[in-house]
Amino acid sequence: MPEQTRTEHTFCRICESLCGLEVEMSGNKVLKIRPDNNHVATRGFGCPKGLKQHHLFNSPDRLKYPMQREGTTWKRVSWDDANQQIGAKVKQIIEENGPDSIAMYVGTAAGFSVLHPAFAQGFMDAIGSKSMYATASQDCGNKFSAAYHMYGFPFTQPFPDLFKTNCMIVVGANPVISKWSFLQVPNPSKHLKEMEARGCKIYFIDPRKTESTKIAGEHVFIRPGTDIFFYLAFLNELIAQQGINEERVAQHMKGLDTLKELASHWTPEKAETVTHIPAKILREMVANYLKANGACMYSSTGVNMGANGTLAFWIQECINAISGNLDKSGGTLVSKGVIDFPKFASKNGILTKQDKSRIGNFTKVNDAFPGGVLADEILSPGKKQIRALFVTGGNPLITMPNSNRLREAFGKLDLLVSLDILPGETASIGHFMLPCTSPLQRPDLPFIFPLMLGLQAKPYLQATKRIVEPEGEQRDEATIYLDLAKAAGVSLFGSKIAQRLLEWAKRRHTKKLPASAQPALPQESILSLLLRITRQGSFKKLLTKKHGAIQEAHKENSFLGQRVYTADGLVNLAPEKLVEQTKLLELLYQKELDTQSRFKLITKRAVTTHNSWTHNFEEFVANERYTNYLYMHTQDMERLGLENKQLVDVTSATATVRLPIKFLDDLMPGTVALPHGWGHQHSLLSVAGKTKGVNVNILSADGPENLERASGMAHLTGILVDIAPAAGPLSPDSWSGLPQDKLPSFTILEDR
Ligand SMILES: Nc1nc2c(c(=O)[nH]1)N[C@H]1C(S)=C(S)[C@@H](COP(=O)(O)OP(=O)(O)OC[C@H]3O[C@@H](n4cnc5c(=O)[nH]c(N)nc54)[C@H](O)[C@@H]3O)O[C@H]1N2
Ligand SMILES: Nc1nc2c(c(=O)[nH]1)N[C@H]1C(S)=C(S)[C@@H](COP(=O)(O)OP(=O)(O)OC[C@H]3O[C@@H](n4cnc5c(=O)[nH]c(N)nc54)[C@H](O)[C@@H]3O)O[C@H]1N2
Ligand code: SF4
Ligand SMILES: [Mo]
């Protein structure tokens, strides 16, 4: 008899929008996913990735059993065997080389779960290793670093009060495609249109006329990588137009004089020579910003990845602060999640560790070292040399700088373990792949940004149970780390009591499960405990609010003088570490002047991608989408004598990639765009593996001298490149830029 269909409510955990979803199911099978029209905040919004995620999860490649590689063959192993072997290796490496030789890379997918990142960190604490790496140094580490210096805590992140702002300047973000980052606002197009309709002045500062700029606001081109000069000129002009709120500054901030002195060198005319933003437009922008009752500047990855992200973000925050827009309705707000997390965490030394990296002497940001020194840390002999790496919900081989070098380094590891749902590029070259539950297979709460920090335009809470049962031997990451800690003879969170208590809870919970189920921690109970400690009621109770539970709205005047956790409680407008970096600005400016005639390469996301892992579904790579393209303005193509779809070589300081070119007149001439997240040819992914795209991160440089000093951010946009018709030894078949002999080809045994 066919099973009856039923509807389950949950929310998407692929990107920061966390869209409410209605899932039509039959038995354990997802038939269809619809946006939840009655969701309190996301109100019927969803994107192709979220609504088709079941196809990504139902792939025949989906990991179901622990796998171990022998030579070029992957075979199935039992959990006991995998844990025992990994545990023994971890013990051996600790004995021989110390705990810091065991590293971990926490990827984006981990960030969207509550328990996964907490238990991953707990495992590193168990080992006693400081060698933590995360996506932040490819994404937003600059924001964390600047916030730490200015506000005393990296996660203190003021965000635009979208519903009330009267002027918003968006720099290096494309919310219509990517949704917002550091702010949960589902359905960006609708919000942007509504904002404009009520008279809000919107600017997009971007080297490409993006999908967002076509929805609302005014677009202003900027030469990639020159944002810092735009911000400094904006500050210079803001001071000239007497836009400082002296009273607010005197009461809550320090360092204004240093800031003024710095800005005095950067007139709109001087900045224009490198940013290409006309001084007249900049002056108008400043006037509109100052005229508005409630204005804000917001930036995202286009600025973060541009080699000067920390300085740029710092100046942006200073502009919002000194103009009186910080902590003001219509400006930027600093919200609270379920607790005052910055207070709790800074008191307990969470996310504020100041360890230094062995290579490059970088200070940790958010308790993690820069990914751009990971290859060096693996390849450079000595005490603390990294010999083992756990990759948890990430795919660094595609997403980090200088992928070829990273591939070489990963090949030298004694142990590379991936906790993933798919056998992606990083997992494919490792020693063990551990099969995890997908988002639909785990109970959850909104991740740390909304939960702990309230980074939501409209605050709400929601709980979801697991709606799809795991298949084969898939396990949740928290349970995996508990078992790995036991196998390595260490205690999660560095606490014997915690380890024993969690093992007991796991045994007790597993007894209640059907005999065929995998052992598991009681995830719902742990999440419930978190809610109860923070006085939010129980998980079960929250589950009954299947469309989400609205929380109190954010308030202005609730941050300055109250929740700034610097030593003196003042916002530091001129942190020494950042001011020191400004000495390099003249040099940088000169370098920009010297390279005006060269191409700069930027990124470009698509609605069907999420970094590197959504190409394993036929529909998302159908027809022309079988590869990525180099996008170029027709004017530049004509100048170089290139034709649409022609194969070209793109060469940076590190490598060359070969791929087809497409014209795109939305680009600023002199700028080319190349989407990231491609280059799957040599993974075990059956659909993505047949695509032709190239990994753009072969073109970005790693190593201490190529990273942004203050935050360790990789330089992934605004990269200088040369472009020429395809010629020479690169094989047109590979298009990947990797020498054929360096590419391992793996097989997977059928018995999985
Ligand atoms: N050139 C260039 N490079 C970039 C960027 C760019 O714009 N340009 N963007 C950067 C940004 S913003 C980021 S955040 C990084 C991303 O860097 P990564 O986090 O390294 O990359 P993802 O592709 O998001 O990898 C997610 C991995 O998690 C797996 N996964 C999915 N769901 C789950 C789950 O529930 N559990 C587990 N265990 N695994 C799961 C996926 O299969 C995939 O392997 O890349 C950065 N790299
Ligand atoms: N569809 C889709 N959605 C995603 C993702 C995805 O891969 N695909 N990734 C998710 C993740 S992990 C993140 S962090 C967010 C990121 O979300 P966003 O930060 O909004 O990322 P992008 O859409 O890449 O927008 C960056 C913009 O910066 C511009 N830009 C490039 N270089 C420069 C520069 O030097 N200066 C300035 N001013 N602008 C520049 C680009 O043209 C682009 O329009 O998106 C998330 N959402
Ligand atoms: S925008 Fe798409 S991927 Fe992001 S949460 Fe919503 S449905 Fe999921
Ligand atoms: Mo990201």
| pLDDT tens digits for range 465-503 | 999 999 999 999 999 999 999 999 999 999 999 999 999
Cα 444 to chain centroid, rounded: 19
Half-sphere exposure of 136 (CA within 13 A, CB side): 24
C-beta of 109 in contact with ligand 3 (< 6 A): no
Residues 550/565, Cβ–Cβ less than 8 Å: no
Q: What is the pLDDT of residues 144-169, one digit of tens each?
A: 999 999 999 999 999 999 999 999 99
Q: What is the pLDDT of residues 158-216, one digit of tens each?
A: 999 999 999 999 999 999 999 999 999 889 999 999 999 999 999 999 999 999 999 99
Distance CA 614, CA 603 (A): 17
What residue spans in the chain does CATH classification 3.40.228.10 cover? 161-336+558-582
Looking up tokens 């793109």 gives 650
264 pLDDT exceeds 60? Answer: yes
Q: Which of 240, 274, 282 is nearest to 260 (CA)?
A: 240
DSSP designation for 90 = H
Q: Are strands 719-725 and 647-651 parallel, antiparallel or unpaired?
A: antiparallel
For residue 457, the model assigns a pLDDT of: 87
For residue 739, the model assigns a pLDDT of: 43
C-beta of 116 in contact with ligand 2 (< 6 A): no
Q: What is the pLDDT of residues 327-366, one digit of tens each?
A: 999 999 999 888 899 999 988 888 889 999 999 999 999 9
Q: Band of the pLDDT at 18, cuts 50, 70, 90?
A: very high
Residues 613/422, Cβ–Cβ less than 8 Å: yes
730 pLDDT exceeds 90? Answer: no
Output the CA 123–ligand 2 centroid distance in Å. 32
Distance CA 494, CA 373 (A): 26
What fold, for 585-751? Answer: Barwin-like endoglucanases (2.40.40)
Tokens read off for 209: 């006329």
C-beta of 126 in contact with ligand 2 (< 6 A): no
Q: What is the pLDDT of residues 642-658, one digit of tens each?
A: 999 999 999 999 988 88
Share of the chain above pLDDT 90, in %: 89
Distance CA 115, CA 204 (A): 36
Ligand in closest contact with the CA of 480: 1
> For the residues of 352-390, what is the DSSP string, one character each?
----B-TTTTPBPBTTBB-GGGHHHHHHS-STT---EEE
DSSP designation for 464 = B
752 pLDDT exceeds 90? Answer: no
Q: What is the mean pLDDT of residues 45-58?
A: 96
To test the pocket of ligand 1, the residue of 142, 374, 417, 612 to mutate (highest count of ligand atoms within 8 Å of its CB) is: 612
For residue 737, the model assigns a pLDDT of: 43
Ligand 2, residue 226: give the atom nearest the CA: 35
Q: Which CATH class is domain 5-51?
A: alpha beta
DSSP designation for 511 = H
Output the CA 139–ligand 4 centroid distance in Å. 5
To test the pocket of ligand 1, the residue of 179, 444, 611, 630 to mutate (highest count of ligand atoms within 8 Å of its CB) is: 611
Q: Band of the pLDDT at 727, cuts 50, 70, 90?
A: confident
Q: What is the mean pLDDT of residues 609-615?
A: 96
699 pLDDT exceeds 60? Answer: yes
CB count in 10 Å sphere of residue 612: 26
Distance CA 472, CA 77 (A): 12
Q: Are strands 20-26 and 5-11 parallel, antiparallel or unpaired?
A: antiparallel
751 pLDDT exceeds 60? Answer: no
Q: Which of 706, 710, 752 is nearest to 64 (CA)?
A: 752
Helix 227-240 × helix 279-291 angle, to 10°: 60
Q: What is the pLDDT of residues 67-99, one digit of tens each?
A: 999 988 899 999 999 999 999 999 999 999 999
For residue 11, the model assigns a pLDDT of: 97
- Burial-class residue 263 by CB neighbours within 10 Å (0-12, 13-18, 19+): buried
Q: What is the mean pLDDT of residues 51-66?
A: 96
For residue 347, the model assigns a pLDDT of: 86
For residue 665, the model assigns a pLDDT of: 98
Q: Give the residue whose CA is nearest to atom 46 of ligand 2.
A: 178
Distance CA 57, CA 466 (A): 14
Q: Band of the pLDDT at 742, cuts 50, 70, 90?
A: very low
C-beta of 346 in contact with ligand 2 (< 6 A): no
For residue 71, the model assigns a pLDDT of: 87
Distance CA 676, CA 694 (A): 8
Q: Give the residue whose CA is nearest to atom 4 of ligand 1.
A: 399
612 pLDDT exceeds 50? Answer: yes
C-beta of 8 in contact with ligand 1 (< 6 A): no
Distance CA 750, CA 224 (A): 48
Residues comprising the chain, all counted: 752
To test the pocket of ligand 2, the residue of 53, 56, 157, 178 to mutate (highest count of ligand atoms within 8 Å of its CB) is: 178
Q: For the structural domain made of 67-136+349-490, what CATH number should be given?
A: 3.40.50.740
Tokens read off for 48: 């192709």
Q: What is the CA radius of gyration of the chain?
A: 25
744 pLDDT exceeds 80? Answer: no
For residue 683, the model assigns a pLDDT of: 84
What residue spans in the chain does CATH classification 3.30.200.210 cover? 5-51
Q: What is the pLDDT of residues 214-241, one digit of tens each?
A: 999 999 999 999 999 999 999 999 999 9
Output the CA 399–ligand 1 centroid distance in Å. 7
Would you call 232 helix, strand, or coil by DSSP? helix
CB count in 10 Å sphere of residue 511: 8
Q: Which helix (H) or strand (E) holds 104?
A: strand 102-106
The residues with which 434 forms a beta bridge, in sequence order, are 419
What fold, for 161-336+558-582? Answer: Dimethylsulfoxide Reductase; domain 2 (3.40.228)
Q: Which of 727, 659, 718, 661 is nearest to 694 (CA)?
A: 659
Residues 293/608, Cβ–Cβ less than 8 Å: no
Q: What is the mean pLDDT of residues 568-594?
A: 97
Q: What is the mean pLDDT of residues 571-581?
A: 97
Output the CA 178–ligand 3 centroid distance in Å. 9
Output the CA 450–ligand 4 centroid distance in Å. 16
Distance CA 721, CA 649 (A): 10
Which residues, including other chains, have CB under 8 Å from residue 733's CB and lie 6 or more apart?
Answer: none
What residue spans in the chain does CATH classification 2.40.40.20 cover? 585-751
What residue spans in the chain does CATH classification 3.40.50.740 cover? 67-136+349-490
User: φ, ψ for residue 479 (rounded to 5)?
Assistant: -65, -40
746 pLDDT exceeds 60? Answer: no
Half-sphere exposure of 633 (CA within 13 A, CB side): 17
Q: Band of the pLDDT at 3, cuts 50, 70, 90?
A: confident
Distance CA 199, CA 214 (A): 17
Distance CA 8, CA 65 (A): 27
For residue 740, the model assigns a pLDDT of: 44
The residues with which 6 forms a beta bridge, in sequence order, are 25
Which residues, including other chains, have CB under 8 Å from residue 562's CB and lie 6 or more apart?
Answer: none
Output the CA 457–ligand 1 centroid distance in Å. 24
Q: Which of 66, 62, 63 is nearest to 77 (CA)?
A: 66
Helices (H), 159-298: 175-178, 188-197, 211-215, 227-240, 246-252, 256-263, 268-275, 279-291
Q: Is the dihedral of CA 267, 272, 278, 282 positive or negative?
A: negative
Tokens read off for 308: 């000067």
741 pLDDT exceeds 50? Answer: no
Tokens read off for 95: 């004995």
For residue 432, the model assigns a pLDDT of: 98
749 pLDDT exceeds 90? Answer: no
Distance CA 358, CA 383 (A): 9
Tokens read off for 463: 């709980």
- If you average pLDDT over every residue of the chain, what do you get? 94
Instruction: Provide the residues around ligand 4 (an ion) whose CB is within 5 A.
Output: 139
Output the CA 108–ligand 1 centroid distance in Å. 5
